[in-house]
Amino acid sequence: MKNAETGSCELRMLGNAKNHIRESGQFRTAENLAELFRLDINDLQSRLQGWKIERKFLVDDGTGERFPIFAFDGRSGLRLNKAVTKVLDIFECWSDSVRTAVGRVRDG
């Protein structure tokens, strides 16, 4: 019974997160970003391709791929904001450490 309750709670939290992503206005589709930054949609999509491959700051809320507008520095040719880049590097480092530790525990 407890597993069913946990699963139900997780589904509810996931649904709430997806709703927040859609309703906050902070995550936009590539088409929205192209309009916002006045870029050609094809050019923008090719720039975002690397993010799609790496799954960096890409959220699929069930209605399509969305990217956080706060991650971009529109003044620098639509590059990632330097602060965001540093945070992503920290997460990547932390994630690698966790994977290594989990591997050690699993391998005994």
**End-to-end distance of the chain based on CA atoms, in angstroms?**
31
Tell me the pLDDT tens digit for each residue of 40-85.
999 888 888 877 776 566 777 778 888 888 888 777 667 777 787 7
Domain count, the chain: 1
What contacts 52, CB < 8 A, 6 or more positions away? 58, 65
pLDDT of residue 42: 93
Question: What is the percent of the chain where pLDDT is above 70?
Answer: 71
Burial (CB < 10 A; 0-12, 13-18, 19+), residue 101, is: exposed
pTM of the model: 0.60
Token pair for 32: 């929205």
95: containing domain: 2-107
Q: How far is CA 96 from CA 45, 59, 84, 93, in A?
A: 28, 21, 18, 5
More confident call, 96 vs 90 = 90
